């Protein structure tokens, strides 16, 4: 069995996904179980398990810039979320930023 994460398998085209953006360093795909009318995941191709494993500030900045760029291409207003660790709600241990958008009256519920 492969020990690649599901996102690595998507990057490697081993499993299909709905890609909304891709360059050398990032891929953005639609979440398979959307929690908002627009729900996209921005995934760095360079592997790290969780956000706080990235210690390079330019790498962190570039991830945020890419998430903003993709988000703005989808909606003028949006929410960015990063779940870090099991207790932080992270299920896939390959760093990713959630873009959530498209509500008529803004997000309901949690922060």
Buried b (16+ CB within 10 A) or exposed e, 26-55: bbbbebeeeebebbbbbbbeeebebbeebe
Among 25, 32, 53, 86, which residue sits at the site for ligand AMP (rule: CB under 6 A)?
32
Q: Does 6 bind ligand AMP (CB under 6 A)?
A: yes
Q: How far is CA 10 from the centre of its chain?
A: 13
Residue 44 near residue 25, CB atoms below 8 Å: yes
- Interface region with ligand AMP, contact rule CB under 6 A, candidates 19-27, 45-53, 63-71, 85-93: 85-93
Residues in 47-76 that interact with ligand AMP by CB under 6 A: none
Instruction: Look up 39 and say whether it is catalytic.
Output: no
Among 90, 102, 103, 107, which residue sits at the site for ligand AMP (rule: CB under 6 A)?
90
Would you name the residues annotated as active-site residues?
A: 96
């Amino acid at each position: 069995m492969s020990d690649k994460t599901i996102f690595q398998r998507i990057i490697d085209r081993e499993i299909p996904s709905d890609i909304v953006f891709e360059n050398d360093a990032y891929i953005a795909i639609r979440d398979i179980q959307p929690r908002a009318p627009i729900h996209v995941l921005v995934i760095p191709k360079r592997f790290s398990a969780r956000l706080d494993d990235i210690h390079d500030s330019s790498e962190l900045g570039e991830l945020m810039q890419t998430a903003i760029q993709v988000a703005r291409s989808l909606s003028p207003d949006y929410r960015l979320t990063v779940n870090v660790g099991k207790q932080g709600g992270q299920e896939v241990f390959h760093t990713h930023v959630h873009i959530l958008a498209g509500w008529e009256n803004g997000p309901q519920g949690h922060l």
